[in-house]
Amino acid sequence: MTRNILFFCVLAGSCATVACDDMDFDFGEGGGTRVESPFHYSYDVKPGGRLEVETFNGAVEIRSWDQNKVDVSGAKYANSAALRDQIKIDSHATPDGVEVRVIRPSEHHGGNMGARFVIRVPLNFVLDRITSSNGQIKVEDLEGGVRVHTSNGGIHLSRIKGNVDATTNNGAIELNELTGRAVLTTSNGHIQADHLTGPVEATSSNGSINIAFEAPPKSDIHAETSNSSIEVSMPESSAVRVRASTSNSSITSDFQVDQSGTVSKTHLEGTIHGGGPMLDLETSNGSIRLAKP
C-alpha cells in the first residue's frame, strides 16, 4: 500500500487554513479504505474567551498553552475522496471566542465519515460547548468552565479549575483534579472522579461510581447508579451527613456513623464526626462503601 506524505504547513497571521495531500488507510478485510484530509486554523483571541466545537464520529482533544491564540488542527475523513470533500468545516472567530462546526453532507452516506480535532487554547479559556459522537473527548490543564458531550465514547478531564458538566452515553467519565462543581452523567459506563474539592452530582446506569476526596468534602455529593456499586473515599477527619440506600446488596463504612432514622443492611442514615455536607448515595443491585484512603 502506498501512502502519501502527510504534513502540516503553519502559516503566519490570525487565521490559516492548510490543504494537504490525501492519505489512504486500508483497514483490511471488511474495513475498506479511509481517506483523510487535514485542516488547520489559528486565531488571535483575548484571555477569558469561549470555544465551541461541534463534530461527529471523531475524537476531540483540548489542552491549554501560554499563548493568546486558539490553534485548531484536525482531519476530516470518509471512505472516498469525493465523500470526504463534501464534509465542510465552518470555522470563525472574534477576539472573544472561536466556533468550529463540522457540517455533514446533505445526503446520508453511512457511518464511515467524520472529523477529529486537536486544539490548543489559552489557560483561562471557557469550553462553552464541545460535542461529538463515536469519539472520546479529552481536556487537560484549563482554568475555565468545561461543558462537553459525546456518545459511544469516553470523557477524560484532568487538572481543571472551573465548573465541569460532562455527559456521554456508552462511555466512561474520568475526572482528575478539579476545583469547582462537577456534574457527570453517563449510561453503560463507569464514573471515576479523584482529587475533588467542590460539589458533585454523578449519575450512571450499569456502571460503577468512584469518588475520592483529598481533603474533607465541603459541599454536597449526590451519586446514583443502577446494577453497579458506589464508593466514596475521604480523609479520616471528614465530617458529613450520610443518606445511602441500595437493593439486593449491602452498605459498609470505614467510618463510625452516628445513626439516625431507619438503619438496615440496605439503608443508612446518620452523621460522621457531627455532620456537615450531605452524601446522598443510591444504587440498585450494587454495594455502597464509605472508605478511608
Give the model confidence (pLDDT) of 48-60 as tens digits.
999 999 999 999 9
| pLDDT band of 11, cuts 50, 70, 90 | very low
200 close to 193: Cβ distance less than 8 angstroms: yes
Average pLDDT over residues 178-190: 95
Cα gap 210→106, rounded to integer Å: 42
Which of 143, 243, 156 minimizes the C-alpha distance to 194? 156
Q: What is the CA radius of gyration of the chain?
A: 23
| pLDDT band of 24, cuts 50, 70, 90 | very low
Strand partners, 115: 76
Residue 3 has pLDDT above 90, yes or no: no
Higher pLDDT, 195 or 3: 195
Which of 124, 162, 135 minimizes the C-alpha distance to 54? 135
Cα gap 227→208, rounded to integer Å: 8
Q: Where are the extended beta strands (E) located within 79-181?
A: 88-94, 97-103, 113-122, 126-131, 137-142, 146-149, 155-161, 164-167, 173-179
Give the per-residue pLDDT at 110.
61
Q: Please enumerate in sequence order all residues whose Cβ is within 8 A of that of 148, keeping only pairs 6 or more positions apart, or say none.
A: 60, 127, 130, 131, 137, 139, 155, 157, 165, 166, 167
Residue 33 has pLDDT above 90, yes or no: no
Share of the chain above pLDDT 70, in %: 87
Give the per-residue pLDDT at 248.
85
Q: Give the SS3 label for residue 208.
A: coil
The dihedral over CA atoms of 61, 65, 69, 73, expressed in degrees to the nearest 10, equals: -30
Percent helix, strand and coil across the chain, each rounded to 5? 0, 50, 50
Amino acid at 114: G
Grid coordinates given for 125? 479559556
Cα gap 237→41, rounded to integer Å: 50
Place of cell 460547548: 129
Give the per-residue pLDDT at 108.
62
9: exposed, middle or buried (Cβ count in 10 Å: 0-12, 13-18, 19+)? exposed
Average pLDDT over residues 252-262: 84
Residue 179 has pLDDT above 80, yes or no: yes
Q: Give the 3-state secondary structure of 30-47.
A: CCCEEEEEEEEEEEECCC
Give the per-residue pLDDT at 262.
66
Give the model confidence (pLDDT) of 100-143 as tens digits.
999 998 876 566 899 999 999 999 999 999 999 999 999 999 99
Averaged confidence pLDDT in the chain = 88
Residue 271 has pLDDT above 70, yes or no: yes
Average pLDDT over residues 178-199: 95
The dihedral over CA atoms of 231, 239, 242, 246, expressed in degrees to the nearest 10, equals: 20
Cα gap 73→61, rounded to integer Å: 10
- H or E element, residue 84: helix 81-84
